[in-house]
Amino acid sequence: MMEDIQLSEAVERFLQGQMDAEELSRFEQLRKSNPEVDQFVVEHSIFLSQLNEFGERKHFRSSLEEIHDNLLGNGTIKTFVPKTKVVDLFRKYRRVWAVAASIAGIIAITVSGLVAYFTPNLTKPQLEQLSRKVNILEKQQNDLTNEVRDSSKVTSRVPVNETFKFGGTGFLIDAKGYLVTNAHVIKGAKTIIVQSHGQEFKASIVKIDAERDLAILKIDDNEFKPFASLPYGFKKTGADLGEQIFTLGFPRDEIVYGEGYMSASTGYNGDTMSCQIAVAANPGNSGGPVFNKNGEVVGILSTRQLQAQGFVFAVTAKNIFKSLDELKKDTTYQNIKINTLSSVKGMERPQQIKKIEDCVFLVKTYQ
């Protein structure tokens, strides 16, 4: 134990060069003769130099801190104003952002591409609303008849400085003079004239239900004599697939009969408010009634698909009921009654038509 202490002391003195010549030679001698001592000396030397280095470094480090604080204190070095956090974050994650943004971009483009690819192109232009655009020729014709009427002192209901724009079909839902037609038929109309058997009556808009494409009109004309009752009824449940149907409408100035069948219970692109019927329809048929064989209204003919033949759509009768229910919230119209019983049931078709045609009107709009 004591020897070890002395040896350790000796090594320290040796390392610091404190040994005199005599001691040094004895020390070297001892190392040569005793390998154990030699190993201890080597090991201890390494350790002590490590310890020394440790001390120096620690000292140097603390002096660096001191220098730093000094220099900072007298303004020789300045701490940078840190950049704003947002910019820092942006810089930090710039690559991540770039990658994320490009992935998002690619996905967005792909998705929109797929959506565009699988979505049927443009819904509206494929459907043609079957209201009739009346050409100038007819307008002139009207003017002519007006003149004739003027000469015979019959007052015309046609407004003088408005032009005949569109025509469609409408039919009575209440014997007092309430008509139903398509909303698109009377769109933008200033004056509406309804005509039956060549007799014209002025009508006003009671309600426009653009959502269901329905419009309810009222004949405001002294010459109109209300019916006692309507020959046809309205069937809320509509028609079944394959059921025979017939239509009455004014694709021209004369009432035209059409016959067909119920071909699908939904309308264009699965529209549940309408149904598909197979019947010949032309502009002017819009707003016309669709009857089943009993003479019950099952729908209102509204549109046809442009690219395909025989795809005609009708707003189902259920929607007339719904639209009327909404209208009846207004107390003025609470007396509107919708007939559900058809009095032409079981009759031959020509007899049915004879009864019904009085209640189907040509709707003319002026702008």
Binding site for other proteins (CB under 8 A): 4-5, 8-9, 44, 47-48, 50-61, 63-65, 67-68, 70-71, 76-80, 82-83, 88, 91-92
Give me the least distance between CB of 79 and other proteins, in Å please.
Answer: 5
Contact between residue 77 and residue 67 where contact means Cβ atoms under 8 Å apart: no
Give me the least distance between CB of 38 and other proteins, in Å please.
Answer: 17
3-class DSSP state of 350: helix
19 versus 273: smaller Cβ distance to other proteins:
19
61 versus 133: smaller Cβ distance to other proteins:
61
Q: 326, 365, 361, 363: which is closest to 230 by C-alpha?
A: 361
**Residue where the block lists tokens 């603390």:** 62
Give me the least distance between CB of 74 and other proteins, in Å please.
Answer: 10
Give me the least distance between CB of 35 and other proteins, in Å please.
Answer: 19
87 versus 306: smaller Cβ distance to other proteins:
87
3-class DSSP state of 317: helix
Give me the least distance between CB of 59 and other proteins, in Å please.
Answer: 7
59 versus 133: smaller Cβ distance to other proteins:
59
Q: Classify burial at 31, counting beta carbons within 10 Å of its beta carbon; exposed 0-12, middle 13-18, buried 19 or more.
A: middle
Residue 16 corresponds to which tokens in the numbers above?
């610091």
Give me the least distance between CB of 71 and other proteins, in Å please.
Answer: 6
Contact between residue 292 and residue 245 where contact means Cβ atoms under 8 Å apart: yes
The helix (H) or strand (E) run that includes residue 343 is none
3-class DSSP state of 289: strand
82 versus 188: smaller Cβ distance to other proteins:
82
13 versus 139: smaller Cβ distance to other proteins:
13
Cα pseudo-dihedral 92, 94, 95, 101, rounded to 10: 140
